[in-house]
Amino acid sequence: MSELEPKRAIDGAAEESIHIPIAGPASLFTQLKGFWVTFAAQFKKVTTVQYPEVKEPTAPRFHGRHQLNRHPDGLEKCIGCELCAWACPADAIYVEGADNSDEQRYSPGERYGKVYQINYLRCIFCGLCIEACPTRALTMTNEYELADDSRKKLIFEKEDLLAPLRSGMLQPPHPYYPGTDDQDYYHGRVTEAHPSQEQK
């Protein structure tokens, strides 16, 4: 038995296992069905928007730019747990947590997000980070105009992502609302800031 015979046997078995029959060209009727899709599309109304002067509204649950939310008194909802970073399939989120103290309190509980970055050059807007967040600190807005002329500008820092201070909010760090703890914040019992929380 020569050395070539086993190789010929393997090649023959491979050819038999991958044999794909060729049926030939499709029938005229099958081809006309494909042409009909193109022909019918010519008569559909074309929606032309004069962007950026005119902007079409997005869907209510559109996945746009991220936002780090606040509690009603201004404390940050982010607790620096890093679950969003672990859930991100594109590795676009970087979180560095730090400990709160009574003198320097940024969020309810023990920790807060000291460093928070989202790299929009990598983000695929899948929303998995939103699902992973235990405090609803991270949500997605309807903002989609993120194009820029610099790669550096597309790495958003915590200051870029934090929600603005609204009426009744105080800029952290500041203490808890009087007579409350972190559980009161998580259950929505704090509705505004108290004058005693303002740092002098």
pLDDT value for 19? 64
Alpha helices in the chain (DSSP H): 4-17, 28-41, 83-87, 128-132, 158-161, 182-186
pLDDT in tens, the chain (200 residues): 556 566 666 666 666 666 667 677 778 888 888 888 888 888 888 878 888 898 888 998 999 999 999 999 999 999 999 999 999 999 999 999 999 998 999 999 899 999 999 999 999 999 999 999 999 999 999 999 999 999 999 999 999 999 999 988 999 999 999 999 999 999 999 999 988 888 76
Task: Report if residue 180 sits inside a domain.
Answer: yes
pTM: 0.75
Residues facing 136 on adjacent strands: none
66 is written with which tokens? 């991220």
CA triple 7-11-13, angle to 5 deg: 115
pLDDT value for 199? 73
Q: Which helix (H) or strand (E) holds 123?
A: none
150 is written with which tokens? 């610099």
Looking at the structure of the chain, the number of domains it has is 1
Task: Report if residue 80 sits inside a domain.
Answer: yes
pLDDT value for 17? 63
3-state DSSP assignment of residue 90: coil
Task: Report if residue 26 sits inside a domain.
Answer: no
Task: Report if residue 154 sits inside a domain.
Answer: yes
pLDDT value for 20? 66
pLDDT value for 34? 84
Question: What is the distance of C-alpha 74 from the center of its chain?
Answer: 23
Task: Report if residue 44 sits inside a domain.
Answer: no
Residues 6+ apart with CB under 8 A from 94: 85, 115, 116, 117, 119
CATH number, domain containing residue 178: 3.30.70.3270
User: Can you tell me the distance from the alpha carbon of 69 to that of 75, in angstroms, rounded to the nearest whole number?
Assistant: 9
Task: Report if residue 50 sits inside a domain.
Answer: no
- Using CB atoms within 10 A of its CB, is residue 47 exposed (0-12), middle (13-18) or buried (19+)? exposed
Task: Report if residue 42 sits inside a domain.
Answer: no
What is the span of the domain harbouring residue 139? 66-194
User: Can you tell me the distance from the alpha carbon of 4 to that of 53, in angstroms, rounded to the nearest whole number?
Assistant: 72
Task: Report if residue 25 sits inside a domain.
Answer: no
